[in-house]
Amino acid sequence: MTKAKTATKSAKAEASAKMDTATKMLDGGMEQITGFAGKFGEYAETGLKAFGEQTAASTEIAREIGSRNMDFFTKSLEQGVEATQAITSAKDVREVMEIQAGFAKSMFSAYTKEMNTQAEICMSAWRSAAKPFMAFGAK
């Protein structure tokens, strides 16, 4: 009977060791899951905060672009009226062609300059909006 008791104790000890190992593995897995959940929560919180900040900034940028478009439209209209007045007071066809060519060249140059400026405003806003996400990804 002594051998049977020893075998039973040995089997219980072995089962207990296996349970301890399994418990430690489960605990380790749960710690990893908790770590991932914490990182995901931090990322989500940072993203929402950045989204809120960038929404406010984008509203300001939209106002600036709208204002610039209205200014450009107003100046273009004024220059168009001036060109039309100059054309009506022209003495010959050659003078009319020179006025029209000068107006077209001036408008094309102004339009190109304005679009480049607005494109740079948009790119600057995009870079600014992407900074929080790029910084978080670098962690």
Q: What is the pLDDT of residue 51?
A: 73
Is residue 8 domain-resident? Answer: no
Which range, of 10-14, 20-24, 31-35, 128-132, averages the lowest pLDDT?
10-14
Is residue 30 domain-resident? Answer: no
Is residue 66 domain-resident? Answer: yes
Is residue 37 domain-resident? Answer: no
Q: Decide if pLDDT at 56 tops 70.
A: yes
Domain span at 105:
44-139
Spatial CB neighbours of 106, under 8 Å, sequence gap ≥ 6? 79
Average confidence (pLDDT) over 13-23: 74
Q: What is the spatial distance between Cα 128 and Cα 110, in angstroms, rounded to a whole number?
A: 27
Number of domains comprising the chain: 1
Spatial CB neighbours of 72, under 8 Å, sequence gap ≥ 6? 110, 111, 114
Is residue 88 domain-resident? Answer: yes
* Mean of pLDDT over the chain: 83
Q: What is the pLDDT of residues 101-136, one digit of tens each?
A: 999 999 999 999 999 999 999 899 888 877 776 765
Give the amino acid at 128.
S
Is residue 75 domain-resident? Answer: yes
